[in-house]
Amino acid sequence: MSEPLPDVAGTVAEFVAGLRCLKAWTGLSYRELEKRAALVGDALPHSTVASSLSRDRLPREEVVKAFARACGCSPQTVDAWVARRRHLVLLAESGTASTVARKASVRGSRVTKRHLVTAGGVVAAAAVGAALTLTALGRWRS
């Protein structure tokens, strides 16, 4: 299996999935990654790696750098991971991603079925309220 590269990650979720693949590719545990990072002067607590890889939210840039180095990536590959992360941040900030996708990917919140049902209920209530208001206005003017 070849070293996973970040260039296929078009979303934050895909980026984090790529980081998970990179960890799997190394075959190292979280604690082993922490030790390897320390050998090159990076601070990479195993708990930070575990939490960063367990959610669909962009890890901080310094975490991505230290993680890629600890995984044994070349300097060019480390730069590629950082560049892809920056690209995803710019996409989210520029508004090219939808509002829902931006919130879900950058802040780590998830749009669930419950959110959609609640939003649908709010829209339905607004429509009923508008219809009742228009009906009342029509009767009042008559």
With a threshold of 0.75, does the pTM exceed it?
Answer: no
pLDDT, tens digit (0-9, with 9 covering 90-100), for 80-135: 999 999 999 998 888 765 554 544 444 444 566 665 666 666 666 666 666 666 66
Same-domain pairing of 85 and 65: yes
pLDDT tens-place string over residues 4-28: 888 888 899 999 999 999 999 999 9
For residue 30, the SS3 value is: helix
Distance CA 48, CA 13 (A): 17
- Let me know whether 58 and 95 are in one domain: yes
Residue 97 lies in a domain: yes
CA distance 52 to 47: 8
Residue type (1 letter), 16 = V
121 and 94, same structural domain? Answer: no
Helix axes 99-106, 12-26, angle to 10 degrees: 30
Q: Kindly state whether residues 94 and 118 are assigned to the same domain.
A: no
Residue 52, pLDDT score: 95
